[in-house]
Structure 1
Amino acid sequence: MTISEQRPSLPEVHRSISIPNGKGFWRKLLAYAGPGYLVSVGYMDPGNWATDIAGGSRFGYTLLSVILLSNLMAILLQSLCVRLGVATGMDLAQACRDYFSPRVSFVLWVLCEIAIAACDLAELLGSAIALQLLFGIPLAWGVCIMAVDVIMLLFLQGKGFRYIEALVITLVATIAGCFTAEIIFSRPEVTGVLGGLVPNPEIIQNPEMLYLAVGILGATVMPHNLYLHSSIVQTRAWEMIPQKKWEAIKFGTIDSTIALSLALFINSAILIVAAATFHFSGYQEVAEIQDAYKLLSPLLGVGAASVVFGFALLASGQSSTLTATLAGQIVMEGFLHLRFAPWLRRLATRLLAVVPALITILFFGEQSTGKLLVFSQVILSLQLSFAVIPLVMFTSDRRLMGEFVNPRWLKVSAGAVATIIVCLNGWLLLQTLWGWINGAG
């Protein structure tokens, strides 16, 4: 396989950010910082909230180990995205188009579009729920209002990629600050939290726990983030020589590792707050974001707890909606060589989320949104193998990567991650089918 000469995705921002020559470590790290935070917002979107709240309220701190494992997987996989984008000048979608047959590429594109629609559904519902909780806007109206947020992205894209990065970093910092306050309010038991970081065999043995665990995996390791990161890392204009490429890989990996460590804190904080507030107070069936909002202040005895929770949710939905749009553009351009106007691509993506959201709200009631959020994350997890396996294949192929090919330890680690993801998803599918068969019987 050889590197193809093709137009880069997101050409308007490709190699648009200069890298200072001969400057110190921190100046270079600052220049490379940004793509990791855009990726990280996908790891703390409203879909994570639904699965983390349900997991914390139902099973206490037990699923913290799943969040930790998922985040370690994410750090490794995103480092492979950096390596692929820098070494080849291609993103993951373009590499798939070059390597696989047109039929396989088309199937991978369809699966990725389904994953993006599921992700956008979670972000749309999360933002609409936040508007309802904070300002009393009906959920159906909130869904319609958030459907037109494409204007914000178009405005920022016209200003430059650094403006998008700055906004996302500000929103991420807002979420982190809000949940630092929530942890202080909830006063979790330290020994329980530390114990939850140790894997428990019951997670595999209990079908309900496994369902939430795979939902957490799907909410944490986002398939579209792998396509996104391999493209936006190329917004930096490093010199096209091996030495500078190694430097770009190093700083890009540091950037994503720091950003995903922040995402680990936020995801863990959501589950910890849910466990400390609900599980140990007898409210073990709390799975809806709305119920969590209503109960936080009364149970914690802190009037601001629910409002802080609501603003963090709104920041989460708005930050992650930006990256879903960029990922959609990258996937369509990479797989199909089709480039639509950004507003048209954004509108199409959002309509795919608006329709099922409105149908669910109007026909099944607002109380059904929590289940829809968790289900969207399980869909993401089931799609994940189809992005992870090609990524591991490409970065382990010396013909494509040259001297930047994965070393043996990284090949083994990446292969183990891919195997765990495939096995977990296969187990979930078997458990789900068995449940349907028993239910039918």
Structure 2
Amino acid sequence: MAQESKSWTIGGMLRQLGPGMLVTGAFIGTGTITTSIVAGTNNGYTLLWASVTLAIIMVMVLQEMVARLSLATGLSLGQLIRDKIGLWASIIAVLAITGGNTIYSVGNLAGVNLSLDGLIPGVSGTLWMAIVTLLYWILLMLGRYALLEKTIMLLVGVMSLTFLFNMFYVTPDYPAVFKGLITPRFALSDTMLVLGLIGTTVVPYNLYLHSSGVIERQWHRNPQHYFRLMRFDTFVPIFLGGIVTMSVGVVAAAVLHPLHESQGLEITSAREMAMSLEPFLGPAAYTFFRIGLFAAAVSCMPMAALSAAYVFTQSFKLSTDLKSTPFRLVFSFVAWVPLLLALSIERPVWTIILAQTVNGMLLPISAVLILYLINKKGMVGEQYRNGWITNTLGGIAVLFAIYMGITNILSSLGLV
């Protein structure tokens, strides 16, 4: 493994956090909040191993791998797939990311529907979805979405802290929390939910965004110096994101699961989800939750559109300038097609979970390509190639995602 720089202090690395924060900000969205609340409500603490332990280990392993790959080669993941594997692999990656991000955005629009429907009498959730899509698309066209992004991330941060405080306020069953984190078990009927819990954290497009972030920071110009920073930037934000994810699931398990057991509570709208915050916020819980859910939904949508555009243009060696025609065409596709698909949404919560499940099923495509590249002889040099531990963890992550995807398909067809 590469020799680590001795010059970095903890304070210095904290000031340099960048690509890893982008990854964490992207996976703490509508999908994470909704799937974690549904899992906690229906299953108590028993699926924390999937939403927290397994998902966070998988995202750490894969994101570190792709960041190390770009650090060593000076190329983004999209460029590497095209140049080192071939056009056929690029086409597969583009179809997976563009299609996956489109479905992912449908889920986020369902979050907009949940959070804003009925906010103003006479204004439907469908109209809100169109308004939100138009606004963020205009900002992307103008290249002026930075302020919106910072504002929304602030709101998501406040909501995350609220769940963290609430987790301690509701005094959960800590032994049950610990057991849920380390004991893998689930019923066949929960396959889609488990895959959704993983897909909402290990987001395929984040792999491409992370590699591009390393290049934009120019860390590849001195890989040995930035190696330690790259790992710190990857592991610390993702670990904190895992704590936030855990807090959502734990709060739902402590507050809503007893109601599910005693009164048959089911999560069908934002109002039921907001009940998880009532012990801490009281009557203000519903309003606050709607604002947070809206922020979580909108924070992910521009990134999904942009990442698809980056993957497409890098894969086919087109201009990656935000104002170039190919770039605009792709992010416009991923912005507007989801709205057309979302118009027929009747069950927003189920749609959000389905979108995360699709992400989980598409994950092995990108993960296999990364594993191949990082181990390819002469690609990154011996000091940056995977060791046996990283290869084992990466292989387990890929095999588990494939297993869950196949099981989900067979279950949907009624074959298992």
TM-score normalised per structure 2: 0.87
User: Contact between 1:34 and 1:165, CA under 8 Å: does it hold in 2?
Assistant: no
SS in 2 for 1:58: helix
Q: Are residues 150 and 276 of structure 1, via their aligned partners in 2, closer, same or farther at CA, if it must alter by over 3 Å?
A: same
Measure, in 1, the Cα distance between the counterparts of 2:131 and 2:303: 19
Instruction: Count matched residues.
Output: 401
SS in 1 for 2:283: coil
Aligned residue runs from structure 1 range 65-80, under 5 A: 65-67=49-51, 68-80=53-65
1:386 corresponds to 2:388: no
What is residue 369 of structure 1 aligned with on the other side? 348
Q: Are residues 194 and 239 of structure 1, via their aligned partners in 2, closer, same or farther at CA, if it must alter by over 3 Å?
A: closer
What is residue 89 of structure 1 aligned with on the other side? 74
What is residue 57 of structure 1 aligned with on the other side? 41
Measure, in 2, the Cα distance between the counterparts of 1:164 and 1:229: 21
Give 2:125's aligned amino acid.
L
Say which is worse superposed, 416-425 or 213-222, in terms of deviation.
Answer: 416-425
User: Contact between 1:171 and 1:319, CA under 8 Å: does it hold in 2?
Assistant: no
Measure, in 2, the Cα distance between the counterparts of 1:410 and 1:297: 38
Measure, in 1, the Cα distance between the counterparts of 2:230 and 2:329: 31
Give 2:137's aligned amino acid.
V
User: Contact between 1:215 and 1:378, CA under 8 Å: does it hold in 2?
Assistant: yes
Give 1:81's aligned amino acid.
V
TM-score normalised per structure 1: 0.82
What is residue 247 of structure 1 aligned with on the other side? 225
Aligned residue runs from structure 1 range 415-430, under 5 A: 415-430=395-410
Say which is worse superposed, 71-80 or 123-132, in terms of deviation.
Answer: 123-132
Measure, in 2, the Cα distance between the counterparts of 1:239 and 1:222: 24
Instruction: Note the C-alpha offset of 1:332.
Output: 0.9
Q: Are residues 255 and 332 of structure 1, via their aligned partners in 2, closer, same or farther at CA, if it must alter by over 3 Å?
A: same
Instruction: Note the C-alpha offset of 1:94.
Output: 1.4
User: Contact between 1:175 and 1:316, CA under 8 Å: does it hold in 2?
Assistant: no
User: Contact between 2:114 and 2:348, CA under 8 Å: does it hold in 1?
Assistant: no
Give 2:103's aligned amino acid.
A
Instruction: Note the C-alpha offset of 1:429.
Output: 2.3
What is residue 326 of structure 1 aligned with on the other side? 306
What is residue 357 of structure 1 aligned with on the other side? 342
Give 2:217's aligned amino acid.
R
Instruction: Note the C-alpha offset of 1:167.
Output: 5.2
The one of 372, 379, 390 equivalent to 1:400 is 379
Instruction: Note the C-alpha offset of 1:97.
Output: 1.1
Instruction: Note the C-alpha offset of 1:420.
Output: 2.0
Instruction: Note the C-alpha offset of 1:336.
Output: 1.9
User: Contact between 2:312 and 2:330, CA under 8 Å: does it hold in 1?
Assistant: no
Give 2:126's aligned amino acid.
A
Say which is worse superposed, 404-413 or 178-187, in terms of deviation.
Answer: 178-187
Q: Are residues 376 and 88 of structure 1, via their aligned partners in 2, closer, same or farther at CA, if it must alter by over 3 Å?
A: same
Aligned residue runs from structure 1 range 131-280, under 5 A: 131-132=116-117, 137-148=123-134, 149-153=136-140, 157=143, 170-184=154-168, 186-201=170-185, 203=186, 206-238=187-219, 240=221, 244-280=222-258
1:103 corresponds to 2:88: yes
The one of 105, 116, 122 equivalent to 1:120 is 105
SS in 1 for 2:378: helix
Q: Are residues 145 and 126 of structure 1, via their aligned partners in 2, closer, same or farther at CA, if it must alter by over 3 Å?
A: same
Percent identity of the aligned residues? 22
Instruction: Note the C-alpha offset of 1:344.
Output: 4.2
Q: What are the superposed Cα offsets for residues 45-99 of structure 1, whole Å, 9 maximum, x if unpaired? A: 1122222122111111100011121111101111011101111111211111123
Q: What are the superposed Cα offsets for residues 157-200 of structure 1, whole Å, 9 maximum, x if unpaired? A: 569x8x78855753442232231243355442222222211223
Instruction: Note the C-alpha offset of 1:32.
Output: 3.0
Measure, in 2, the Cα distance between the counterparts of 1:408 and 1:29: 28
Instruction: Note the C-alpha offset of 1:122.
Output: 1.8
Gaps of 5+ in 1: 1-20
Measure, in 2, the Cα distance between the counterparts of 1:72 and 1:39: 14
Measure, in 1, the Cα distance between the counterparts of 2:104 and 2:367: 17
Measure, in 2, the Cα distance between the counterparts of 1:393 and 1:218: 21
Say which is worse superposed, 127-136 or 267-276, in terms of deviation.
Answer: 127-136
Gaps of 5+ in 2: none
Q: Are residues 301 and 74 of structure 1, via their aligned partners in 2, closer, same or farther at CA, if it must alter by over 3 Å?
A: closer
User: Contact between 2:270 and 2:290, CA under 8 Å: does it hold in 1?
Assistant: no
Measure, in 1, the Cα distance between the counterparts of 2:356 and 2:6: 44
Instruction: Note the C-alpha offset of 1:153.
Output: 4.5
User: Contact between 1:75 and 1:260, CA under 8 Å: does it hold in 2?
Assistant: yes
User: Contact between 1:53 and 1:286, CA under 8 Å: does it hold in 2?
Assistant: no
Measure, in 2, the Cα distance between the counterparts of 1:307 and 1:382: 34
Q: Are residues 297 and 50 of structure 1, via their aligned partners in 2, closer, same or farther at CA, if it must alter by over 3 Å?
A: closer
